[in-house]
Amino acid sequence: MMKRFKKLACASVILLLSGCSSTSILDDFIEADKPKLNLSDLHAVGNFNWFEIIPEHQFVEVTETRYVTEIELIADGQPYDFHLADQYWTPHTKCGFRDVVLRLELNQEYQLYCAGDSQNLQFTPDQTGRFAIWIESNDDETSVSIKVVRL
């Protein structure tokens, strides 16, 4: 009788824990009902600005689908972690990588994942200076590229 109780208790715990780690129907419903991402509401937030929303790092419209912001970075060999978010840190506007932190390379374009569980973007400058972060929207997809701004 005691063996059966232990097995039942163990199975219940495993079932409970596995249920907590899976995606629920509610999560799928929330994802489907997610509002459209407004790129002009986004800011670059990271360790270069103490993860604070500041007006200087808000994205500005260049064309109907392209937006840019500029940041000053020091080349000290350390990576800068950052992501994109609106002023309220709304989950669907927190944009970064989907699964792992990857390092951005200059002039390369990367797909963004915008959800509360997005991972940081990372960039290590090889020279001190001002950098532009470009984001572009194509229907459902948002891509980001980062490049040096000549002053």
* Helix or strand (DSSP H, E) at 93: none
Does residue 91 contact residue 115 with C-beta atoms inside 8 Å?
yes
Range of the domain at 23: 2-32
Let me know whether 140 and 69 are in one domain. yes
> What average pLDDT does the chain have?
80
Over 90: is that where the pLDDT of 75 sits? yes
Does residue 143 contact residue 135 with C-beta atoms inside 8 Å?
yes
| DSSP helix/strand/coil, 14 | helix
Let me know whether 16 and 55 are in one domain. no
Let me know whether 27 and 44 are in one domain. no
Let me know whether 69 and 133 are in one domain. yes
| Each residue's pLDDT tens digit, 76-132 | 999 999 999 999 999 999 999 998 877 888 888 888 899 999 999 999 999 999 999
Let me know whether 85 and 25 are in one domain. no
Let me know whether 17 and 51 are in one domain. no
Does residue 59 contact residue 69 with C-beta atoms inside 8 Å?
yes
Q: How many of the other CB atoms lie within 10 Å of CB of 86?
A: 20
| Each residue's pLDDT tens digit, 22-37 | 444 544 544 556 677 8
pLDDT value, residue 141: 57
Let me know whether 21 and 56 are in one domain. no
* DSSP string across 44-92: EEETTTTT---GGGB-EESSSSEEEEEEEE--SSPPEEEEEE-TT--GG
- Residue 30 corresponds to which tokens in the numbers above? 């929330």
Let me know whether 62 and 135 are in one domain. yes
Let me know whether 21 and 47 are in one domain. no
Let me know whether 17 and 57 are in one domain. no
Let me know whether 13 and 59 are in one domain. no
**What is the total count of domains within the chain?**
2
| Residue-level length of the chain | 151
Q: How far is CA 5 from the centre of its chain?
A: 45
Residue with tokens 């419209």: 61
Let me know whether 13 and 85 are in one domain. no
pTM over 0.75: no
- Say which CATH number the domain at 94 has: 2.60.40.3620
